[in-house]
Chains A and B, each alone.
Chain A
Amino acid sequence: MAEVRAEMVANVWKIVVAEGVDVADGDTLVILESMKMEIPVLAEGAGTLTRLHVAEGDVVQEGDLIAIIE
Chain B
Amino acid sequence: MLNSVLVANRGEIARRVIGTARRLGIRTVAVYSEADAALPFVAEADEAVLIGPAPPARSYLDSAAVLAAARQTGAGAVHPGYGFLAENPRFARQVLAEGLTWVGPPPEAIEAMGDKISARNLMAAAGVPVAAGSAEPVSSPDAAAAEAARIGYPVMVKAAAGGGGIGMSAVSDPAGLRAAFETARTRAERFFGDPAILLERCISPARHVEVQILGLSDGEVVALGERDCSVQRRHQKVAEETPSPGVGPVLRERMLAAAVRAGTAVGYRGAGTVECLVDTVADDFVFLEMNTRLQVEHPVTELVTGIDLVEQQFRIASGEPVSFPAAVRPHGHALELRVYAEDPVRFMPSPGTITGWREPAGPGIRVDAGYAAGNQVTPFYDPLLAKLCVHGRDRGEALARARAAVAAFEITGLRTNLPFHADLLASEEFTSGDYDTAIVARLRPGPRPAHN
Interface residues in A14-38 (C-beta closer than 8 Å to B): 33-38
Residues of A within 8 A of B379 (CB): 8-11, 33-35, 59
| Interface bits B329-361 vs A (CB < 8 Å: 1, else 0) | 000000000000110000011111000000000
* A36 touching B351, Cβ below 8 Å: no
List the interface of chain B (C-beta within 8 A of A).
164, 234, 341-342, 348-352, 378-383, 449-452
Q: Does A47 contact B (CB under 8 A)?
A: no
Q: A10-B349, A36-B164, A38-B451 are in contact. List 6 more A-B contacts (CB 8 A).
A: A8-B349, A8-B379, A35-B382, A36-B381, A36-B382, A59-B379
Q: How far is the CA of A37 from the CA of B451 in the complex (A)?
A: 7
Q: Which residue of the partner chain A has the closest CB to B350?
A: A8
* A35 touching B383, Cβ below 8 Å: yes
Q: Does A7 contact B (CB under 8 A)?
A: yes
How close is B10's CB to chain A, nearest CB, in angstroms?
13
24 CB < 8 A contacts A-B: A7-B348, A8-B348, A8-B349, A8-B350, A8-B351, A8-B379, A10-B349, A10-B351, A33-B379, A34-B379, A35-B341, A35-B349, A35-B381, A35-B382, A35-B383, A36-B383, A36-B452, A37-B349, A37-B451, A38-B451, A39-B348, A39-B349, A40-B449, A40-B450
Residues of A within 8 A of B383 (CB): 35-36
How close is B85's CB to chain A, nearest CB, in angstroms?
16
How close is B134's CB to chain A, nearest CB, in angstroms?
25
Q: Do A9 and B378 form a contact, CB below 8 Å, given A35-B383, A38-B451, A40-B449? A: yes
> What class of interface size applies to chain A in its complex with B?
10 to 19
Interface residue SS majority, chain B: loop
Q: How far is the CA of A33 from the CA of B187 in the complex (A)?
A: 13
Interface residues in A23-70 (C-beta closer than 8 Å to B): 33-40, 42, 59
How close is A69's CB to chain B, nearest CB, in angstroms?
18
Residues of A within 8 A of B378 (CB): 9
List the interface of chain A (C-beta within 8 A of B).
7-11, 33-40, 42, 59
Q: Do A34 and B349 form a contact, CB below 8 Å, given A8-B379, A9-B378? A: yes
Q: How far is the CA of A40 from the CA of B452 in the complex (A)?
A: 11
Q: Which residue of the partner chain A has the closest CB to B234?
A: A37
Residues of A within 8 A of B341 (CB): 35
* A38 touching B452, Cβ below 8 Å: yes
Residues of B within 8 A of A39 (CB): 348-349, 450
Residues of B within 8 A of A8 (CB): 348-351, 379
Q: Do A37 and B450 form a contact, CB below 8 Å, given A10-B379, A11-B379? A: yes
Residues of B within 8 A of A33 (CB): 379
Q: Do A38 and B349 form a contact, CB below 8 Å, given A9-B378, A59-B379? A: no
How close is A59's CB to chain B, nearest CB, in angstroms?
7
Q: How far is the CA of A35 from the CA of B348 in the complex (A)?
A: 9
* A9 touching B351, Cβ below 8 Å: yes
Residues of A within 8 A of B164 (CB): 36
How close is A66's CB to chain B, nearest CB, in angstroms?
15
* A9 touching B352, Cβ below 8 Å: yes
Q: How far is the CA of A38 from the CA of B379 in the complex (A)?
A: 11
Residues of A within 8 A of B351 (CB): 8-10, 34-35
Q: Which residue of the partner chain B has the closest CB to A57?
A: B55
Residues of A within 8 A of B342 (CB): 35
8 closest A-B pairs by beta carbon, nearest first, are A34-B379, A35-B349, A34-B349, A35-B383, A9-B351, A37-B452, A39-B450, A9-B379
Residues of A within 8 A of B350 (CB): 8
Q: Which residue of the partner chain A has the closest CB to B342?
A: A35
Q: Which residue of the partner chain A has the closest CB to B191?
A: A36
Q: How far is the CA of A39 from the CA of B350 in the complex (A)?
A: 12
Q: How far is the CA of A45 from the CA of B177 in the complex (A)?
A: 30
Residues of A within 8 A of B352 (CB): 9
Q: How far is the CA of A10 from the CA of B382 in the complex (A)?
A: 12
